Chains A and B, each alone.
Chain A
Amino acid sequence: MVTIKDLYKSYGKLEVLKGINLSFERGKITAIVGPNGSGKTTLMKCILGLVHFNKGKILIDSNDVSSNFNYRELIGYMPQIGRYPENLKAIEIIKLIIELSNNRKPVNLDYLIDLFNFQPHLNKFVKNLSGGTIQKLSAILAFLFDSKLYILDEPTAGLDPIATVDIKNLITKKREEGATFAVVSHQLTEVESFADNLVFILEGKIVIDSPIKDFITTTGKQNLEEAVIDFLKVQN
């Protein structure tokens, strides 16, 4: 689904990505994990076209990211912090995204509104929405369309436990329908519960890229968290 070849990015002298080679398997959930400042957000932004990389290539279903912006209609994106124009209503923002989407059908809209119990919030102004509700709005915007690829940045941060479960179920459901996922997360336990593959980035380089189960097995630990910590100790 996504192929990243030899990707380099630096901001001035600061090298953030130092030769990333990676691919996201179709129909799988890939968790991107790493400490703060390791480059995971930059990597995502490269895929989304928000950041122009210095060197390398990103292909999404054989579309070159740097040549055309239309590939973005294949992607549903959920940012870590959603901030929306204060004086628009939630429904108006949803409409805006629909209108900007190259005539894709918002097939999941009703389902999502149901799922997150969003009906009472639709006609509220953004400035009157709580942090959790805004996070739900972000999720709705990301899953509006039947996208081939979903990029989610900390999707459960700031959500209440019920909504967290809802979103996980949603991810699982979409995966079963054949969608590919790249999920940035801090919480290894959470990652373990739904992800297929693990990509661990450290200082701009990929240090782990393997199916989660295989990784745990090779380290011989009980769970992912312990496995990663063990792995990092070995590395140092």
Chain B
Amino acid sequence: METLYKITKFQIQNIIRSNWIIIYTFGLILTTSLIIYFTNDSSKVIVSLMTIMFILNPLIGILFGSIYLYNSREFIELVLTQPIKRSTLYSGLFLGLVIPFILVTIVGVGLPLAASNLIEPDLIGNLLSTSILLVCIFVSIAFLITTFIVERSAGLGIAFIIWLFLCWIYDGFLLFFSYAFQDYPIERIILALTIINPIDLARINILLRFEAAAMLGITGAVFQDFISASLGKVITFAVHLIWIFIPFSIGYFRFKKKDF
């Protein structure tokens, strides 16, 4: 535990001093403030922020995470020659990477939002936590990629494709699917497919908070249940946790077995 704490601490120290993170944080603060300043309509603000938090943030998470891990290869080796467990190092690396991202999100988006008083605190909390979960997911995918793919450029390419798939291609597929099987009872399948994708799930979870009117236009009891009951929130949280857990633990086992 102590070792984990030490590794995490050093890692955080290293990352929060990185120019990239500092620039990104200020960029977020600036963008968020500008959005708030130029659009007084709270729902427009949320929509714009959703793009930042659910699309851009994951991209930065997965790319920065992968680059960071590829760059740390030699240092990881050195640390591994010390009398510590590999699993401890892995978890420390993960926490050390995820915590700065959580801080960046809170400072970059949360602070300007809270200061503006435009959106109710409850919804800000929901936005931030969803975004943080998403970043954790994409960082954990970065861990998965870098433990399997040794070659840096290939790893970064795959990271980008995974991001593109989850935030864009997948939705296209979903739309195609819903057209193709429109005449069949695909309600459950569509809902399940939407929930499986962490970005879609995050988006819907937030939309339900302030644009539920349209969402409720969907016919079908399954949607109604998911949308109206607090079940939706629980499912969102659970699915996101699974998304963090699975890549993390596959990477974890790989890391333990891996040759450096």
Query: Which residues of chain A are within 8 angstroms of B81 by Cβ–Cβ distance?
Result: 48-50, 72, 75, 77
Report which of A79, A81, A85, A97 forms a contact with B82, defined as CB distance below 8 A: A97
Report which of B7, B74, B77, B84 forms a contact with A69, defined as CB distance below 8 A: B84
Q: Are B18 and A52 in contact (CB under 8 A)?
A: no
B43 in the interface, Cβ–Cβ < 8 Å? no
Bound form: Cα–Cα A183–B143 in Å: 33
Q: Are B10 and A85 in contact (CB under 8 A)?
A: yes
A234 in the interface, Cβ–Cβ < 8 Å? no
Count of chain B residues near A, Cβ 8 A:
28
Interface residues of B in 1-42 (CB under 8 A from A): 3, 6-7, 10-11, 13-15, 17-18
B72 in the interface, Cβ–Cβ < 8 Å? yes
B212 in the interface, Cβ–Cβ < 8 Å? no
Q: How does the 8 Å CB contact mask read for A40-67 relative to B, with 1 for contact and 0 for none?
A: 0000010011111000000000000000
Report which of B3, B6, B14, B259 forms a contact with A85, defined as CB distance below 8 A: B14
Q: A83-B71, A83-B75, A100-B6 are in contact. Are A49 and B80 (CB under 8 A)?
A: yes
Q: Are A88 and B80 in contact (CB under 8 A)?
A: no
B83 in the interface, Cβ–Cβ < 8 Å? yes
A90 in the interface, Cβ–Cβ < 8 Å? no
Report which of A79, A82, A101 forms a contact with B83, defined as CB distance below 8 A: A101
Q: Are A82 and B78 in contact (CB under 8 A)?
A: yes
B79 in the interface, Cβ–Cβ < 8 Å? yes
Secondary structure class of chain B's binding surface, majority of residues: helix
A84 in the interface, Cβ–Cβ < 8 Å? yes
Query: Which residues of chain A are within 8 angstroms of B188 by Cβ–Cβ distance?
Result: none
Interface residues of B in 95-127 (CB under 8 A from A): none
Query: Which residues of chain B are within 8 angstroms of A81 by Cβ–Cβ distance?
Result: 74
Give the size range of A's interface with the partner: 20 to 34
Query: Which residues of chain B are within 8 angstroms of A97 by Cβ–Cβ distance?
Result: 78-79, 82
Query: Which residues of chain A are within 8 angstroms of B80 by Cβ–Cβ distance?
Result: 48-50
A86 in the interface, Cβ–Cβ < 8 Å? yes
**B11 smallest CB distance to A (angstroms):** 8
A218 in the interface, Cβ–Cβ < 8 Å? no
**B109 smallest CB distance to A (angstroms):** 23
Bound form: Cα–Cα A77–B7 in Å: 19
Q: Beyond the given A82-B74, A100-B83, could you list 14 further A-B residue pairs with CB under 8 A, ordered by the A residue number?
A: A50-B77, A50-B81, A69-B86, A75-B81, A83-B71, A83-B73, A86-B14, A87-B15, A87-B17, A87-B18, A88-B14, A96-B79, A97-B82, A102-B83
24 A-B contact pairs sorted by A residue (CB < 8 Å): A45-B259, A45-B260, A50-B80, A50-B81, A50-B260, A51-B260, A52-B257, A70-B83, A75-B81, A77-B81, A79-B77, A83-B75, A85-B11, A85-B14, A85-B72, A85-B75, A86-B18, A87-B13, A87-B18, A88-B17, A92-B10, A96-B10, A99-B6, A100-B7
